[in-house]
């Protein structure tokens, strides 16, 4: 157990560096999170960059000798803060994205909260370490399994492993042959999308029929190939299972990196 605890700062440090880099690279992600509601629109980007700076400092402290306990405690505080913020986002601003590690158009869901809880658990374990990660020996090998768990809980990485798997599954049978977890046929979802103001708002950008779909808690997400300003893009429609009104459907056009290029705001007035 001692070597496992000692190895945790390595994983946490790398995750925090990734998270910090994503925030510094695209600080405008803050506008898609719950930060504007929490700290005000004028201070959201500043607060976002501040969190990125703290993440970077804690990460470097965890990765570099000689001290690790203080940084592990700081990581515990950060992870607890992340968890609280995501729960706040889901309750108060349910349409807000995570903004955790890399741009994503998806609202905060159970996976993002579970990832924050996993980070909190690893940080608590790291705080019990009595040696640095460079002395963990075989304990470092366990980090491969933990890293895989973080990847599976990261919507930002879905395009690298989950979407190819789904496309492979769709390629084996016609997309309309399956149904999703709530037993709603995909054809019914498509009908709702076609009748929505969201679809009319981006109709001229679409370049395909339904390209992919997936369920995430109370939402079904449907994607279409699109072009925006001459660039390849993807239009992602968020269709709530429990609200059948056309105006409840939302859409975002994102690029190949998951960055939002266009998101119509007043959909009820479109068309």
pLDDT at 145: 92
- Alpha carbons 182 and 154: distance in angstroms, whole number: 23
pLDDT at 198: 92
pLDDT at 204: 85
Does 95 share its domain with 209? no
Give the domain extent around 235. 175-269
Query: Taking Cα atoms as reference points, which of 17, 173, 13, 202 lies closest to residue 102?
Result: 17
Q: What sign does the dihedral 209-244-157-32 (CA atoms) show?
A: positive
Residue 170 located in a structural domain? no
pLDDT at 188: 87
Question: Which residue do the tokens 């940084």 mark?
Answer: 71
Total domains in the fold of the chain: 2
Considering 117, 134, 161, which residue would you say is the last residue of a domain? 161
Query: Taking Cα atoms as reference points, which of 221, 225, 245, 243 lies closest to residue 235?
Result: 225
- Alpha carbons 236 and 34: distance in angstroms, whole number: 20
pTM over 0.85: no
Which carries the bigger pLDDT value, residue 131 or residue 193?
193
Task: Collect all residues with Cβ–Cβ distance below 8 Å to 171 and sequence separation of at least 6.
Answer: none
Lowest mean pLDDT among 23-37, 43-57, 128-142: 128-142
CB 184 within 8 A of CB 241: yes
3-state secondary structure of 103: coil
Considering 118, 138, 161, which residue would you say is the last residue of a domain? 161
Mean pLDDT (the chain) is: 84
Does 56 share its domain with 187? no
């Amino acid at each position: 157990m001692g070597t496992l605890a000692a190895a945790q700062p390595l994983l946490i440090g790398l995750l925090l560096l990734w998270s910090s880099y994503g925030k510094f690279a695209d600080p405008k992600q803050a506008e898609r999170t719950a930060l504007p509601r929490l700290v005000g629109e004028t201070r959201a980007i500043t607060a976002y960059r501040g969190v990125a700076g703290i993440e970077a400092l804690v990460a470097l402290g965890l990765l570099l000798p000689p001290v690790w306990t203080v940084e592990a405690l700081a990581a515990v505080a950060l992870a607890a803060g992340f968890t609280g913020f995501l729960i706040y986002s889901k309750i108060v601003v349910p349409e807000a994205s995570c903004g955790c590690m890399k741009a994503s158009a998806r609202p905060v869901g159970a996976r993002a909260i579970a990832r924050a809880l996993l980070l909190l658990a690893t940080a608590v374990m790291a705080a019990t370490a009595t040696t640095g990660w460079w002395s963990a020996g075989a304990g470092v090998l366990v980090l491969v399994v933990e890293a895989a768990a973080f990847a599976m809980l990261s919507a930002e990485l879905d395009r690298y492993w989950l979407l190819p798997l789904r496309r492979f599954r769709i390629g084996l049978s016609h997309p309309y042959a399956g149904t999703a977890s709530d037993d709603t046929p995909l054809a019914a979802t498509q009908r709702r999308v076609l009748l929505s103001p969201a679809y009319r708002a981006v109709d001229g950008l679409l370049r395909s029929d339904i390209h992919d779909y997936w369920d995430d808690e109370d939402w079904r997400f449907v994607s279409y190939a699109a072009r925006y300003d001459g660039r390849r893009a993807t239009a992602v429609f968020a269709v709530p299972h429990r609200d059948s009104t056309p105006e409840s459907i939302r859409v975002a056009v994102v690029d190949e990196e998951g960055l939002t290029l266009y998101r119509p705001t007043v959909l009820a007035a479109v068309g």
